């Protein structure tokens, strides 16, 4: 049983005893503001299948925590990694376009964060020129990239306990 009302009502009508699964553990995650005179952007990419329909979203905030803007874009059919990569590539491009020269980027993709930190060129070929342009822009910016457990679903089973108050 997955704890939905429909399932519970169906089982009750059939006079079947049920054992609902336990509620998931709820963790408080505290948003940390960026450094002074800086923007923080949170990115997330999602896919329906891999390859499948892909999209991503960005949320920009100021150092005071004020909402600055957000948007979501569909990329069509590609792989999940490309959604995460496109999100950070476009976040840097938009930050540059709007005059932000100090940027803190958070991504829920540990792989994308690792690729950024190592400045690797091992990205899908169709993203190579955009990737190179990102590093050209980043050479003129104060930039920090960090990993965040965005979804919070099941990660504690994989990674163990995590101090979310960093």
Is 104 within a domain?
A: yes
In a domain, 166, yes or no: no
Q: What CATH number has the domain bearing residue 90?
A: 3.30.420.10
Q: Tell me the torsion sign for CA atoms 135, 139, 141, 146.
A: positive
pTM of this prediction exceeds 0.85: no
Q: How many domains does the chain have?
A: 1
Which residue segment(s) compose the domain that 41 sits in? 25-159
Q: Is residue 113 part of a domain?
A: yes
Sheet holding 102-107, edge to edge: 67-78, 52-62, 39-49, 102-107, 142-147
Q: Please indicate, yes or no, if residue 89 is contained in any of the structural domains.
A: yes
In a domain, 5, yes or no: no
Each residue's pLDDT tens digit, 27-72: 666 666 766 668 889 888 888 887 889 999 999 988 888 888 898 9
Both tokens of residue 44?
A: 């997330």
């Amino acid at each position: 049983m997955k704890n939905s009302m429909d399932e519970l009502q169906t089982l009750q009508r059939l006079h079947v005893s049920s054992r609902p699964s336990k509620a998931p553990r709820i963790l408080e995650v505290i948003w940390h503001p960026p450094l002074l005179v800086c923007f923080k952007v949170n990115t997330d990419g999602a896919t329906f299948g891999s390859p499948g329909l892909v999209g991503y979203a960005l949320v920009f905030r100021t150092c005071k925590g004020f909402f600055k803007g957000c948007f979501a874009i569909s990329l069509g059919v590609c792989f999940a990694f490309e959604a995460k990569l496109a999100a950070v590539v476009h976040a840097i491009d938009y930050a540059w376009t709007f005059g932000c020269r100090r940027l803190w980027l958070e991504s829920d993709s540990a792989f994308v964060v690792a690729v950024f930190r190592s400045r690797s060129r091992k990205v899908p070929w169709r993203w190579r020129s955009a990737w190179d342009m990102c590093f050209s822009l980043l050479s003129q910016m104060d930039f920090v990239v960090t990993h965040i457990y965005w979804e919070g679903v099941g990660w504690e089973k994989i990674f163990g306990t995590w101090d979310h108050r960093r």
